Amino acid sequence: MTILLFCLFLISIPVLWILFDRDLMAPAFIFCVMYTFSIGSALINRKRWGLEISVKTFTIYTVGLLIFILVNLTCKYIFSKDRQVFLKSESIQRININYTFTLVLVVISIITIYMWIKNVKIIAGVSGSLGQIMEAYRLKTSYSVNADVSMPGYITQLAKIVIASGYVYGFIFINNVLSKDFKRRDILLLIPVLLYVIMSIYDSNRLNFLQIAATFVVYYYLLASTDSNFNKKAGKFLCKLLILFSLLLLVFYSVRLLVGREGSKDTGLIEYITMYSGGPLKLFDMFIRDPIHSTDVWGKETFISLNGNLNDLGIINIPKYLGHKEFRSYNGIGLGNVYSAYREWYADFGMTGVVVLQSIFATFFSIFYYTLKSVGYTKHRFALIMYGYMAATIFLHPIDDQFFRMFVSIGFLIYVVIFYAIYMMSSKKLKIVVD
């Protein structure tokens, strides 16, 4: 069944390439490619993991793919009735920066990171290498609901500024590179991005690297595609993307010890990457065969952030709980506790939940994507910034559900306000010329 599932996804790639007019960023195409990579990674370890998925696992993965394809095709058809809308060329103009505001923002970010690092060391309570400190910090903060071992609230809120700055200034940098009016001082725009990376290391969060890389790929592709001749270069862009993806995996592997994954010190590159990307398939199948889940809270895994917000506001009354799932192993081989996005949905709501939530997920991104595509990316830069930020969850779908956890919450509304404020205050609006 596993090989059949892989073949199904693999064959779907060229089919979708044609159906979506060689659009690499079509949501369904991204979804299919990432799952193909995940399933392929699992197959590399097929014998070691005793991997032979159940019919139910095969069905859930297949249904999820079909839902995304059908929804995406429907939205594409609705929005592209007037095909000239998708064929128009746009002129990308540089975004001028308010450097006074940028300097203030950088200072705030540096102070925030300093306080963050200081508290990380206090919480960790150990001395030694950065990896040892981060491992102690991660174990204390990730697996405890005790407020005494968590980052102070005011620092957590300030960290949102660091995060938003990294994405906004990364977008502006990419925009200016493609505007053909790039200036040497625009290199300074990468400082907020670098500061965000540094904070991510001290947050022991590797997913941040994958998320920001995926977001920047979306920014670059969508802005570059405003050139009417871009489709002719899609194949060349795909080759560059594959090289970039390989480099990203190498970086992801290289920083594992820095962010506190000391247990993987002797793990090779291929074994480590395929474990992380392919493990969710094996783990999800193990969950299907042997489910371990408490149903004492509605949407316990899917809506953990929303439940926490409602609990803090006194709207509901539930005990605090951790979002981490159980660790599993096979024949002494630790597989981790990452089960793909389907785990949360199936655990909380069964097969109906998988169908409904996958439909919502696919519909949201399909409508958002084709709305942007039809009105023009350069006319709605802020919407493009937010789309790229959110679209990273499509890339991460085979690993975990970040969509309902991150974006269905009050915290996300705060992020939207911060993103908008930073974008508006850092840039000077220019009149966009559309050819």
Question: Tell me, what's the pLDDT at 344?
Answer: 93
Residue 226 has pLDDT above 90, yes or no: no
Task: Please report, for residues 71, 260, 426, the alpha-carbon distance to residue 370 in angstroms, rounded to integers and kept in the order given.
Answer: 12, 40, 27
pLDDT band with cut points at 50, 70 and 90 for residue 219: very high
pLDDT-above-90 percentage for the chain? 47
Please give the pLDDT value at position 434.
Answer: 38
Mean pLDDT, to the nearest integer, of 174-199?
90
Please state the rounded mean pLDDT for residues 413-432: 81
86 pLDDT above the threshold of 60: no
Residues 6 or more apart in contact with residue 177 via CB below 8 angstroms: 186
pLDDT confidence of residue 366: 96
Q: Which two structure tokens, joined as six digits, stand for 269?
A: 């590159």
Give the torsion through C-alpha atoms of 7, 17, 80, 384, to 10 deg. 100
Any residues with CB less than 8 A from the CB of 386 and at least 6 apart, and which? Answer: 416, 419
Instruction: Please check whether residue 391 is in contact with residue 421, taking contact to mean a CB–CB distance below 8 angstroms.
Output: no
Supply the pLDDT for residue 147. 56
Per-residue model confidence (pLDDT) at position 6: 95
The mean-pLDDT minimum among 78-82, 121-125, 170-174, 340-344 falls in: 78-82
pLDDT tens-digit readout, 34-52: 999 999 999 999 988 998 9
Q: Which pLDDT band holds residue 278 (cuts at 50, 70, 90)? A: very high
Distance between CA atoms of residues 347 and 344, nearest Å = 5
> What tens digit of pLDDT does each residue of 49-62 get?
998 999 999 999 99
Angular region, 88: left φ>0, alpha ψ -120 to 50, beta rest:
beta
| Mean pLDDT calculated for residue range 218-242 | 78
- Give CA–CA dist 338/280, Å, rounded: 5
Residue 430 has pLDDT above 50, yes or no: no
Which residue did the predictor score with more confidence, 264 or 136? 136
- Position 431 scores a pLDDT of 43
CA distance 54 to 33: 22
| Residue 345 confidence (pLDDT) | 95
**pLDDT attached to residue 89:** 63
Residue 243: pLDDT band by 50, 70, 90 thresholds?
A: confident
Q: Tokens representing 28?
A: 């369904």
Whole-number Å distance between alpha carbons of 40 and 139: 31
Tell me what pLDDT residue 251 has: 78
Question: If you average pLDDT over every residue of the chain, what do you get?
Answer: 86
In the predicted model, is pLDDT for residue 1 greater than 90?
no
Integer-rounded Cα radius of gyration of the chain:
22
Longest dimension (CA), the chain: 63
- C-alpha dihedral sign at 104, 105, 106, 112: positive
Helix H, strand E, coil C: the string for the chain is CHHHHHHHHHHHHHHHHHHCCCCCCCHHHHHHHHHHHHHHHHHHCHHHHCCCCCHHHHHHHHHHHHHHHHHHHHHHHHHCCCCHHHHCCECCCCCEECHHHHHHHHHHHHHHHHHHHHHHHHHHCCCCCHHHHHHHHHHHHHCCCCHHHCCCHHHHHHHHHHHHHHHHHHHHHHHHHHCCCCCHHHHHHHHHHHHHHHHHHCCCCCHHHHHHHHHHHHHHHHHHCCCCCHHHHHHHHHHHHHHHHHHHHHHHHHCCCCCCCHHHCCCCHHHHHHHHHHHHHHHHHHHHHCCCCCCCCCCCCCCHHHHHHHHHCCCCCCCCCCCCCCCEEECCEEEECCCCHHHHHHHHHHHHHHHHHHHHHHHHHHHHHHHHHHHCHHHCHHHHHHHHHHHHHHHCCCCCCCHHHHHCCHHHHHHHHHHHHHHHHHEECCCCCEC
Distance CA 99, CA 93 (A): 18
Query: Which amino acid type is present at position 264?
Result: S
81-95, 129-143, 169-183: range with highest mean pLDDT: 169-183
